[in-house]
A = this chain, B = another copy of it.
Amino acid sequence: MRITALAGGVGGARFLRGLLRHLSRTTSPEHLEHEPVELTVIGNTGDDITLFGLRVCPDIDTLLYTLGGGIHEGQGWGRADETHHLAEELAALGATPQWFTLGDKDFATHVFRSQLLGQGMPLSAVVERLSARWGLGEQGVTLLPMTDTPVETHVVVADGDGSRAIHFQEWWVRHRAELPAERFVVAGLDRAAPAPGVLEAIRGADVVLLPPSNPVVSIGIILGVPGIRDALRGTRAPVVGVSPLVGGRPVRGHADVCLRTIGVAETSEAVAGLYADFLDGWLVDEDDPMRPRSGLEVVHRPLLMSSGEAAADLAGAALDTALRLRAGRTIA
């Protein structure tokens, strides 16, 4: 069975690790008919940034480290058992910025990636090399960046009487999304081509899942790569997503601020509206007021991924919803 997922960083990675856990504990899954599962993850590269001359892909790396077992569990990003000697020395050298935390092991990923990119290797091939280091293939996982084209999200913020654009990471990490944002500008997105395999993974999927990643700056950016949204509209696979909001607030991150910035209400219903043209199933929190509607199956489940088991339960519920929809289609 081919599962394809679109994913941002921490939330997406935890959901997908939950999915792998769910699949491994489901020894005789009702709907899987013992098929081996191929999971293709299409990762957001819209918040990539060049720091100290090195290309950093925060969401891709969070996916790699989380699925590969190297993540710092407490943070949700970066490597476990990390030191920061390189960054301390960069600070002594007066190098900037100093608001983006990079550990020594993490730096190796960026040095390695930058070297290969500098040699002309496309990002998707670099991600393949990184995936091998983290054993993703052994788990049946293929990680693809949404595009090999460099894309960078910038945030237009008020500045005195005018406004200025800062890199998304500066807004998100340095200013914790507290600097009032006027809009997001995704440089390069209109010219970006889906990375090799991305459209095929959506079109050829049996199930497409949207983890509870940020609908604006993660999933929203992936959907902005020309061709991807059309592929989702056209795929025969049911598309099932998980709301990132519980009680109008994101479980993690600043999805609410991002939604306000683009003029969308901070509700699961409004987020589903962003995906209306391709969404078939939608998991919302137990207390979410959203009701089912024509063409959209709404499932109420606890959304909090407070443990690996809870994440597996949530991912399992999303997968089961998709498989049920798929079975219904087959019957119909």
Chain copies in the assembled complex: 2
Contact flags A68-86 to B (C-beta < 8 A → 1, else 0) = 0000000000000011011
User: DSSP class of A's interface residues: helix, strand, loop or mixed?
Assistant: helix
When distances are taken between beta carbons in the complex, the residues of chain B under 8 Å from A332 are none
Are the C-beta atoms of A83 and B104 separated by less than 8 Å?
yes
Task: Tell me the bound Cα distance from A118 to B52 in angstroms.
Answer: 10
Are the C-beta atoms of A108 and B86 separated by less than 8 Å?
yes
Min distance, Cβ A129 to any Cβ of chain B, angstroms:
7
Are the C-beta atoms of B86 and A118 separated by less than 8 Å?
no
Give the most central of A88, A107, A119: most B CB within 10 Å: A107
Q: Which of B95, B107, B129 contacts A107 (CB 8 A)?
A: B107
Are the C-beta atoms of B104 and A90 separated by less than 8 Å?
no
Residue of B nearest to A82 (CB): B85
Give the most central of A89, A107, A130: most B CB within 10 Å: A89
When distances are taken between beta carbons in the complex, the residues of chain B under 8 Å from A89 are 104-105, 108-109
Contact flags A111-153 to B (C-beta < 8 A → 1, else 0) = 1101100110000000001101100000000000000000000
Query: Does A54 have its Cβ within 8 Å of any Cβ on chain B?
Result: yes
Task: Tell me the bound Cα distance from A332 to B143 in angstroms.
Answer: 79
Query: Does A331 have its Cβ within 8 Å of any Cβ on chain B?
Result: no
Task: Tell me the bound Cα distance from A95 to B129 in angstroms.
Answer: 10
Query: Does A36 have its Cβ within 8 Å of any Cβ on chain B?
Result: no
Are the C-beta atoms of A112 and B95 separated by less than 8 Å?
yes
Query: Does A53 have its Cβ within 8 Å of any Cβ on chain B?
Result: yes
Contact flags A32-44 to B (C-beta < 8 A → 1, else 0) = 0000000000000
Task: Tell me the bound Cα distance from A84 to B104 in angstroms.
Answer: 8
Query: Does A94 have its Cβ within 8 Å of any Cβ on chain B?
Result: yes
Task: Tell me the bound Cα distance from A119 to B89 in angstroms.
Answer: 20
When distances are taken between beta carbons in the complex, the residues of chain B under 8 Å from A94 are 129, 132-133
Task: Tell me the bound Cα distance from A171 to B54 in angstroms.
Answer: 29
Task: Tell me the bound Cα distance from A92 to B133 in angstroms.
Answer: 7
Task: Tell me the bound Cα distance from A93 to B70 in angstroms.
Answer: 13
Task: Tell me the bound Cα distance from A96 to B53 in angstroms.
Answer: 20
